[in-house]
Amino acid sequence: MKPRAQILIIIAIVVVVGAIIIGSSAFYVVDVKTQAVVTQFGKPVRTVTEPGLHVKTPFIQMVIYFENRILDWDGEPSDILTRDKENIGVNTWARWRIVDPLKFYTSLGRENSGQGVLDEVIESAVKNVVSAYPLNEILRDTNRKLAYTTEELEKAEIEKKIHIDMGRTKLVEKIRVMANKGLAERYGLELLDVRIKHINYVATVIPKIFDRMRSERMRIASKYESEGRREEAEILGQMKRELEGIESEGYKVAIETRGVADAEAIRIYANAYKKAPEFYTFTKTLETYAKTISNKTRLILSTDSDYFQYLNSSMGREKVDKPDQQLSEE
């Protein structure tokens, strides 16, 4: 190959490479997710928000990209004292976006700086709003009646006379409006939404809250226990009265039945005695003998006693004339 041809090839390669370098430096792409600020020697010259292929001055102008999408902000818990002196920790999150990339670049320069600005304005707005209202306004949205596990808790809540004027939703919107005020004019960003992630008592207050809850539950338990003892005493008293009534009624029936039986027995005995008085006397005497005399019994009888007469007649002896004769039988 001739030297001249080689030189032409080298020149052509240099031209192509230079064109590629110049083209890559002159053209840039903005996609739908981003927006750009074109700077010349560090000074912004224009803003590009439309997606597509764009041209800039090679080597002189630079392109700085910013997010065109909604960005998230997540704050740290803040200790706040509410209007009713409740020390709570409030954790919030937010969504924001860059609405004016040129102003954002000139005022903040980077997206991280925008996060820092939101740290200040949102936390300040949260403290101002939360500290101006009682805790129930921040926790609840309406005056809807809550369901309680015990009547005592419901009565205690009623005694507090809680009334919701604003509610959590309106207070959160108030925080957003307060925090968003002047952001677009000063920094070129907009706060789209603010939400409370969670609310809790601070760590130093939680043990006291638990102690207060525990004492309240113990008071309710003591009340239930005293009511139970009172009802137990009433039930036992009623049971004792009923038992005594049943026993007295049973005793009355038993006495009446026994009286009727005794009267009937006396009537039968009387009728039997009228029909055969001697035989009745004889049988009763035999019953008395069976109950009073045994193998080891010693009797001392007078001669005119019925015992002696029966014994004397049964043994076939004559009547004894002596007044105090002793009879022994083994």
Distance CA 214, CA 150 (A): 14
Residue-level pLDDT at 195: 92
237-282, pLDDT tens digit by residue? 999 999 988 988 898 889 989 888 988 888 887 787 777 777 777 7
Residue 68 DSSP class: -
Average pLDDT over residues 292-320: 66
Going by C-alpha positions, the residue among 231, 126, 133 that lies closest to residue 179 is: 126
Residue-level pLDDT at 148: 61
Let me know: does 96 contact 190? Beta carbons within 8 Å: yes
Distance CA 212, CA 87 (A): 15
Residues found in the chain: 330
Residue 155 identity: K
| pLDDT grade for 323, boundaries at 50, 70 and 90 | very low
- Percent pLDDT > 70 in the chain is 79
Q: What φ, ψ does residue 309 adopt, rounded to 5°?
A: -60, -45
Residue-level pLDDT at 92: 93
155-175, pLDDT tens digit by residue? 666 666 667 788 889 999 999
Place of tokens 């004019």: 185
**Cut 0.75: pTM above it:** no
Residue-level pLDDT at 165: 82
Statement: residue 63 has pLDDT above 70: yes
Contacts of 10 (CB under 8 A, 6+ apart): none
Statement: residue 2 has pLDDT above 50: yes
Place of tokens 């240099």: 14
Statement: residue 296 has pLDDT above 60: yes
Residue-level pLDDT at 158: 62
Going by C-alpha positions, the residue among 77, 97, 99, 100 that lies closest to residue 89 is: 77
Return mean pLDDT, the chain.
81
Statement: residue 149 has pLDDT above 90: no
Distance CA 94, CA 193 (A): 5
Distance CA 94, CA 100 (A): 19
Residue-level pLDDT at 327: 40
8-39, pLDDT tens digit by residue? 666 667 666 666 666 567 788 889 899 999 99
